[in-house]
Amino acid sequence: MHEHISGIVPPMTTPFRSDDTIDEGALRADTRYLIETARVHGLAVTGSTGEGHALTTDEVRRITAVVSEDVRGRVPVITGIITDSTASAVARGLAVKDLGVAALQVTPVHYLFRPDDLRPT
């Protein structure tokens, strides 16, 4: 695990097949390109650029696992967590706990209504 995150850490996109499953081959190829050719200093997965809001907890874990496996400790991996409940955010964090991620990028739970909707009429 990396204790210090610095430099260029691009947000990765999540590649999908035509049947909406994760294209692990494309994900691995992108990971290798970013590390070996672009020489980035870390990778961020499952954030907003990676469609984190639309992924299941199992998909977040799988994407993190695939990228972490290909990274082989060369650069830190940051897992994004975007969900609409605190309980779900905690579940996603725990789902990747054993994968050696350097950090979690947690998007605060957002409101699905306008603040004025809460005012009594």
Average pLDDT on 58-87 reads 95
Q: What is the pLDDT of residues 5-15, one digit of tens each?
A: 999 999 999 99
Cα atoms in the Cβ-side hemisphere of radius 13 Å centred on 116 = 0
Residue 1 clears pLDDT 60, i.e. is over it: no
pLDDT of residue 12: 98
**Which CATH class name applies to 24-108?**
alpha beta
Cα torsion 34, 8, 48, 73: sign: positive
